[in-house]
Amino acid sequence: MMAPYSRIFAVARPPRTEVGCGHQLSVPRKTIEMTDLPDSPDPRSTREIVSYHAHVYYDPATTRPEAERLRTWIGERFAVTLGRWHDVKVGPHDQAMYQVAFAAELFSSLVPWLMLNHGSLSVLVHPNTTNPRRDHLVNPLWIGSPVAVHGDKLPDHAAGEQAPSPNTHPVLPP
């Protein structure tokens, strides 16, 4: 009965050639440096961000009323562009949703407001730069629980999307 254990131990043990020389310490440290630091020597500028989207996800069978209420609240308070209702999955989105397109200047008022008022809904907030795939997968923030995003449906390059003319007429303070 000792044979299976001995076999596992033998496999898990590193080969003798990797043990007991100076490389053992320097190799892991170098690996950490290479994986933790991005390639670019300079940080990206927020000037890359042409506008933002917030995608409000909902379940047509259960949370559409909550999504409707949130949509009304947004429209009453912010000059944004409310997109069409998508009761079925569209593009990279894995759940029903509607889009809220907004100018970069609105981020500091709208996003904190969404943090406080999203209820049970998941909201994806992503920048619009020239790389939609990266905008959605690498650089977004989530309010509520994250939902799957299908990056294969997104291009690596596009013209940065300007915020369209608002279609809301806000009458209340945030």
Residue 46 and residue 136 in contact, taking contact as beta carbons nearer than 8 Å = no
Among candidate residues 170, 148, 167, the one with its CA nearest the CA of residue 92: 148
User: Pattern 44-83, binding to Zn ion, x per CB under 5 A?
Assistant: ---------x------------------------------
CB of 90 to Zn ion, least distance (A): 11
Residue pair 71/55 in contact by the 8 Å Cβ criterion: no
- Closest distance to Zn ion from the beta carbon of 119 (Å): 21
Provide CB contacts within 8 A for 84, sequence distance 6+.
Answer: 98
Beta strands in the chain (DSSP E): 51-58, 81-82, 96-103, 123-128, 141-143
84, 90, 94, 98 alpha-carbon torsion, rounded to 10°? -10
Among all residues, whose Cβ is closest to Zn ion?
53
93 binds Zn ion (CB under 5 A): no
Residue with Cβ nearer Zn ion (34 or 159): 159
- Residues of 1-24 as b/e, b for ≥16 C-beta within 10 angstroms? eeeeeeeeeeeeeeeeeeeeeeee
**Cβ distance to Zn ion smaller for residue 17 or 88:** 88
**75 or 127: CB nearest Zn ion:** 127
Shortest approach of Zn ion to residue 39 CB, angstroms? 26
Nearer to Zn ion among residue 51 and residue 168 (C-beta) = 51
| Min dist. Cβ of residue 132 to Zn ion (A) | 8
Distance of CA 125 to the CA centre of its chain: 7
Q: How far is the CB of 150 from Zn ion (least distance, A)?
A: 13
Q: Which is nearer to Zn ion, 75 or 140 (CB)?
A: 140
Residues that bind Zn ion in the complex, under the rule CB under 5 A? 53
